[in-house]
């Protein structure tokens, strides 16, 4: 099963490498990884999607927590949370009919058409993991030329991450 892990780290050079090196050195797998600043200039948030059973995820959380620059690690999967991913996908559409179908599908998923070329349509979609999954599955019959995914980000619904000061 996929777990979304949020990791607050000190915003210092080399921290990303430290985390990634630990993950790969210990043989864990990351599906997506997203890093960005937070409301605190000294803190960055890393969000990673890690496949694995409960035991593996527990180890990932502990090994992350053990890193000297890591402030807090939260397995979002165990929390009430919201997650989103942004995808940009360019789909081949060489005739009018297929373009209509693709745009139709996009509308159903609240995806936006952000570019149209003679032979392709580029779509932007934001959604949670499930919706992204469904959308991409339904796009499969068409020829997907290129796809870029931001990786999942997530926030807790209720309590604020305790790692922040104030």
Partner 1 sequence: MKKHLDKDKESNKERSGAQCVIDGLTSAGCEVLFGYPGGAVLDIFNCLYDAPFQFVLSRHEQGAVHMADGFARATGKTGCCLVTSGPGATNAVTGLATANMDGIPMVCISGQVPSAMIGNDAFQEADVVGITRPVTKHNFLVRSVEELPSVIAQAFHIASSGKPGPVVVDIPKDIQRQMTEATIPEAIEMRAYKPHVDFKKEDVHALAALINSSERPVLYVGGGAIAGDASAELLELAHKANIPVCTTLMGIGAFPEDDALALSMLGMHGAVAANYAVDKCDLLISAGARFDDRVTGKISEFAKNAKVVHIDIDRSAIGKSVRCDLGVEGYLKPVLESLIPMVDKADHKEWVDQTQRWKDRFPFAYPGGDDTIMPQFVIEQICAVSGGKATVVTDVGQNQMWAAQHFNYTRPRSFITSGGLGTMGFGLPAAIGAKFACPNDLVVCVTGDGGVQMNFQELVVAVEHKTPVVTVILNNGYLGMVRQWQEMFYDHRYSGVTLGQSKRQRMERIDEGREYLPNFIMLAEAHGACAKRIFKPEEVAPTLKEAFESGKSWVIECIVEPEANVFPMIPPGQAVEAMINRSV
Binding mask 56-95 for partner 1 (x = CB under 8 A): --xx--xx-xx-xxxx------------------------
How many Å apart are CA 91 and CA 87, to the nearest integer? 12
How many Å apart are CA 9 and CA 68, to the nearest integer? 9
CA atoms within 13 A on the CB side of 39: 6
User: 16: helix, coil or strand?
Assistant: helix
Site for partner 1 in 23-52 (CB under 8 A): 25, 42
- Total residues at the site for partner 1 (CB under 8 A)? 21
Site for partner 1 in 147-166 (CB under 8 A): none
* Residue 115 CB neighbour total at 10 angstroms: 11
Whichever of 64 and 125 has its CB closer to partner 1, that residue is 64
* Residue 30 CB neighbour total at 10 angstroms: 17
**With CB under 8 A as the contact rule, which of the stretches 14-22, 100-108, 123-131, 138-146 interacts with partner 1?**
14-22
Judged by the rule CB under 8 A, the positions of this chain that interact with partner 1 are 9-10, 13-14, 17-18, 21-22, 25, 42, 55, 58-59, 62-63, 65-66, 68-71
């Amino acid at each position: 099963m996929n777990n979304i892990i949020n990791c607050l780290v000190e915003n210092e050079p080399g921290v990303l490498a430290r985390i990634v090196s630990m993950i790969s050195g210990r043989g864990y797998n990351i599906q997506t990884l997203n890093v960005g600043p937070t409301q605190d200039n000294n803190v960055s948030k890393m969000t990673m999607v890690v496949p694995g059973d409960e035991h593996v995820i527990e180890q990932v959380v502990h090994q992350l927590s053990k890193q000297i620059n890591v402030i807090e690690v939260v397995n979002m999967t165990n929390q009430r949370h919201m997650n989103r991913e942004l995808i940009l996908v360019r789909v081949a559409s060489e005739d009018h009919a297929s373009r209509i179908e693709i745009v139709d599908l996009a509308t159903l998923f609240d995806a936006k058409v952000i570019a149209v070329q003679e032979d392709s349509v580029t779509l932007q979609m934001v959604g949670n993991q499930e919706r992204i999954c469904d959308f991409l599955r339904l796009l499969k019959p068409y020829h997907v030329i290129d796809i870029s995914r931001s990786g999942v980000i997530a926030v807790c619904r209720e309590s604020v991450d305790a790692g922040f000061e104030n």
